[in-house]
Amino acid sequence: MYFIDIAYAKAVAETTETIEETGLLASLGLDGRLFILQLINFAIVAIILWFLVLKPLVKKLAERQKLIDDGLNNAKKAQEQMDRSEIDYRAKILEAKKEAQTILEKTEKDAKTLSDNLKIKAKQEIENLAEQAKKNILKEKDEMMIGLKGETANLIVAALEKILSEKMTGEKDKKMIEEAVSGLGK
């Protein structure tokens, strides 16, 4: 074991000498010139990727995000408008129902008024017809009475002529007719 320790110590001493000689980068296994070239190469690739890939990609993502945000805002506005439209629709339906109820009530009232007016008018017409019929009956009765009185007078004259066998003069005839007719009227 001792031999291994000596070899290990020698390796550590050589490494320490090399580190001191080449510097910290060399101790890590890096070549300083190669590292700087690789760093420049990485920067160039990063710049190319940024301008050719990442910048357009970020721009597209921003546009997409804006489109999504606009779509969500439009959807929210559309939902609000739909809600307002629903409220307006319900309000108009209620208003239409109230208006229909008012129209029905007015129609019923008008129908009752019209019915009452027609009943009154029909009653008046019936009363007028009855009154007219009474007048016509009275007129016909009067005409019949006049006609009957005339006929009766003629019959009385004819009967008296036969009974008396003499024709009466105009004055006697008239007087007798009047007495007979006045007797009939009682």
99-120: per-residue pLDDT in tens?
Answer: 999 999 999 999 999 999 999 9
Residue 186 to residue 182: CA distance in whole angstroms: 7
The vertex-94 CA angle with 91 and 95, nearest 5°, equals 85
Say whether pTM exceeds 0.85: no
* The pLDDT of residue 21: 47
Task: Tokens 């060399």: give the residue.
Answer: 26
Tokens 């008239």 belong to 174
Mean local confidence (pLDDT), 21-40: 74
Q: Residues, the chain, total? A: 186
Tell me which DSSP letter residue 169 carries: P
Tell whether the model's pLDDT for residue 40 goes beyond 90. yes
pLDDT at 19: 46
Residue 47 has what pLDDT?
92
Instruction: Give the gyration radius of the chain's Cα atoms.
Output: 69
Confidence (pLDDT) at 145: 83
Q: What is the pLDDT of residue 181?
A: 73
Residue 45 lies in a domain: yes
The domain containing residue 181 runs over which residues? 31-185
**Is residue 135 assigned to a domain?**
yes
Residues 158 and 179: beta-carbon distance below 8 Å = no
* Structural domain includes residue 149: yes
**HSE (CB half, 13 Å, CA atoms) of 165?**
0
pLDDT per position as a tens digit, 126-160: 999 999 989 999 888 888 888 887 787 777 777 77
Residue 44 lies in a domain: yes
Residue 27 pLDDT exceeds 80: no
Number of folded domains that form the chain: 1
* 101 vs 181: which has the higher pLDDT: 101
Q: Is residue 159 part of a domain?
A: yes
